[in-house]
Structure 1
Amino acid sequence: MQRLSFIILAGLAVVAVACTKNMEVNAPDFQVSLDPAMRVADTFTYKVGDTTRFRFSGNAGNITFYSGEAGKRYANRESSFRLGTITLSFASKSEWGTQKNTLKVLATNKLAGLDSAAVVNAQWTDISSRAALATSATVVNSGTVDLTDLVANEKDSLFIAFRYDGVTGSTQRTWTITNYVVNNVLPDQTYSVSSLSTDASFWTRYGNVWTPASARWAATANDLKITGGNASAPSNTSWIISKPLYIGKLPPDVSTGVKSINEPEKTGYDYKYSAPGVYKATFVAFNHTLDEEKSVVRELIIKVIP
């Protein structure tokens, strides 16, 4: 009986060791080359529209490709913060009635909360005069409104608000806002911070009068709209406020999948650059298991001429 107990315990020890041992993986044996005839010093030169034929040697379970174009750079593969020129643009139209100065466009980077007291007491900057606003049912484009002076740094936030004021005694105006976009404009790329289509469900509205019920802002993926009351309707102040816009936060650049572990080995990859420039083309090859991943990075400088 003692001998049997010893055998069982020894077997359990072997199982325990096996269960704690990680599955090992080898680093890819992977190289990338281009036609030597296209090389000058350390740069390979092609014309716009030429096929850049990358040739592979070795093997790798997975391969991804960063072309080096805007939005496809290996160096920007993780989220980061950069502050460029912050711009707002939208279109507006104002229907019915003749009341004047019924729409204000406001912005702040200091909003303590999204309750009505915080909204009313916030330090809003009136940016209405920076934009062209409609005076009739004819749609007017705001032009590009520069908001860069309203933010302190690349990690600052920004709120945009539209405030409507309708006065009892005459027909109140109806406003429609379309083509609303906030961008972070950098020298090499423009990033969309906010738009109607992406943020329709994030707008918050406030008002001190909801009579008639239509006299409040409504947000859709196509427009922001408030319908004014008739001459007997009560005076109405109504706000609609964007979500906090983290204006300097940049999404990670993306790669293109070239090969997955389930595919056979590939001998190369063809790509066409559509604009002149100097690009750092990057291939990342990696092998992995549930426990470990090993990768290699191969980079080539591509110059594209007209």
Structure 2
Amino acid sequence: MKKSLLILLPILAAACSKKLEVAAPDFNVTLDPARRVADTFTYRLGDTTRFKFSGAAGNIAFYSGEPGKRYDGRSAAYKLGRIMLSFSSKAEFGTQANTLQVLATNKLKGLDSAAVTDAAWTNISNRGTLASNATVAPFGAVDVTDLVANENDSLFIAFKYSGVTGTTQRTWTITEFTVNNVLPEKTVLLSSLSTDVAYWTRYGNVWSPANGRWTASATDLKITGGNSSASGNTSWIVTRPLYAGRVPGDVSTGIKSINEPDKQEYAYVYPAPGVYRVAFVAFNHTLDEEKSVIRELIIKVTP
């Protein structure tokens, strides 16, 4: 019996260690040859680009070549362009002056009240236009790149409200807030009201009534001032850390999965004129292995 076990064990070990292999896709892409000039296929804006497939692949991903959808940009990176802040504001009730400040810093050591109020904030209120009454005023697209050190730095934007007792305090509403990293090839959204509604942090010395502090929603930031007998109120609302140069990788569109039958073509309409380097990535995979092929084409879309 011992002899049998010695013979069987190597066989069992070899069977258990066998790798699940996969074949590389046999996959090609072509376009209408009548549209080809040198290495570029030319279409008019509004035309349907029909990519013809041959061969077979378990999975196919499509990179159109548009900003944010480029094969060469698929890996996340850090790259600093121009950090642009924009929003609109509205000031209602009362006549108290200088009740709102727009501040920015890249040196926030903590998220407690002391760290926030003691930080080295830069007042950027005069870089744009704040409302003077109930008419909504665009602040403008303001460049704040000078406030970050490099592509690995982070940035905080704060709105600081100050109301004093004795006269009616102002009510402020902030809308259309965005911060973008504007690169030559694309614009990366760093913050907006709708994406960051859960991440604004509030600080202040008045917490009752509740409307004596900032409120955040997917459409606005708002603070409601008190009447002439209300206590003085200093209230802050601060963004999460905005990683200035973080650029997410470009994304593809999955046009076939392993559970779907082979496709004969894929149709796409480009929304704007330009020159686009298209990439199809076809791949087969098992739990142990993946093999892929990349087919690239250049498309020019004219007005």
Report the TM-score, using the length of structure 2 for normalisation.
0.95
Tell whether the 8 Å contact from 1:283 to 1:298 is kept in structure 2 after alignment: yes
| Structure 1 residue aligned with 2:270 | 273
In structure 1, how many angstroms separate the alpha carbons of the residues matched to 2:30 and 2:105?
52
Distance 1:214-1:50 versus aligned 2 partners, 3 A rule:
closer
SS in 2 for 1:91: strand
Q: Which of 170, 177, 194 lines up with 1:173 in the alignment?
A: 170
Tell whether the 8 Å contact from 1:211 to 1:233 is kept in structure 2 after alignment: no
Deviations, residues 163-188 of structure 1 (Å, cap 9, x unaligned)? 01111111111111111111112223
In structure 1, how many angstroms separate the alpha carbons of the residues matched to 2:69 and 2:292?
19
Let me know the Cα RMSD of the aligned residues: 1.5
In structure 1, how many angstroms separate the alpha carbons of the residues matched to 2:64 and 2:300?
12
- Matched residue count: 303
SS in 2 for 1:45: strand
| Structure 2 residue aligned with 1:104 | 101
| Structure 2 residue aligned with 1:94 | 91
Report the TM-score, using the length of structure 1 for normalisation.
0.94
SS in 2 for 1:304: strand
How far off is 1:292 after superposition?
0.7
| Mapped pair 1:159 → 2:156 | yes
List alignment gaps of at least 5 residues for structure 1: none
How far off is 1:135 after superposition?
1.5
2:100 partner letter: L
Q: Which of 16, 19, 24 lines up with 1:19 in the alignment?
A: 16
| Structure 2 residue aligned with 1:120 | 117
List alignment gaps of at least 5 residues for structure 2: none
Q: Which of 100, 107, 128 lines up with 1:131 in the alignment?
A: 128
Tell whether the 8 Å contact from 1:63 to 1:259 is kept in structure 2 after alignment: yes
In structure 1, how many angstroms separate the alpha carbons of the residues matched to 2:94 and 2:271?
51
Instruction: Please show how residues 1-306 of structure 1 align to structure 2 within 5 Å.
Output: 4-306=1-303
How far off is 1:42 after superposition?
1.4
Tell whether the 8 Å contact from 1:67 to 1:279 is kept in structure 2 after alignment: yes
Distance 1:212-1:275 versus aligned 2 partners, 3 A rule:
closer
Deviations, residues 28-78 of structure 1 (Å, cap 9, x unaligned)? 121212222222111111211222222222221111111101111001112
1:163 partner letter: K
In structure 2, how many angstroms separate the alpha carbons of the residues matched to 1:220 and 1:140?
19
